[in-house]
A and B are shown apart, each in its own frame.
Chain A
């Protein structure tokens, strides 16, 4: 009996990645977590390290962004109210994502589609806002090459924006599948996994928004700035505290 169950497990367990539709039975696995869901969690762990490295880079150069080269500098160009609105929009998209998943899990296909569309729309508004922000900054003279602030700011927020864009394409693909009748109550896992990614990207934005926009910039004296460059050294101290 145990072997028969095991065989079923194995038979159903392989080859289930990425199919956008049509698996009513979620195969039992060793951990009881679906393969694709586990894969997404592992990928998000990896993506944490990716954004961690990018954010660390930004923070290391934060001291320099106000002292080296020519302006514009963050304190005279960042528009906190404007970005607060777009941050709010992105956070609300997490809510609509949950509502969409909830609707699908209850079998409310129409509700799920409406909230899915809303999520994609809110995401698009965020990316659109970022596009206008970038264009505005560019016209004010901030470019990748202008100074360290331009380089670090555009790289960090740009890669976040790219993540949101990929998320929007994913959501729209799911919406398309749903409209063709391929996303039913029993496929809610497909939506849940996309949701995991979407929420992660939102959470990353909370960190970026705080560190890039909200944390006040100070005009640092030269030596102070040099000191701030050893931030990775400080990281080493933190690791030392953990280890010893």
Chain B
């Protein structure tokens, strides 16, 4: 039980780091561009809500590990957090207001900073990757994105939107 508790404390702290970095990014963004999303009391509420929803998502994901359905056990934690957030935001407009006081682009910069650091040792693996696969990768990424965009374009056109 206490191991479990320690895990949540650790996760809670890391999430706190994550939301603190978002706040920091917003502040820098404001120095660069005073017109960007201002930091208000709602911003702090929003960061708190983001933290809370993330914790709830982690908790649900852990609960679901007991499920006998493989699909539910393997459902990504990111998905549980999105679902938690969607349901609670549908229930109360306060959550929507608070979260929207947090600048979207400021959430992305710290994530990609950590993403860059996390792959530091992976660059070596590129050597084992043939240039052929690299070319294929471009077509694979193009394929999924252009494929979806074209179908969506046709769909939206047909639905008269």
Decide whether A and B are members of one complex. Answer: no
Chain B residues packing against A (C-beta within 8 Å): none
Binding site for B on A (CB under 8 A): none
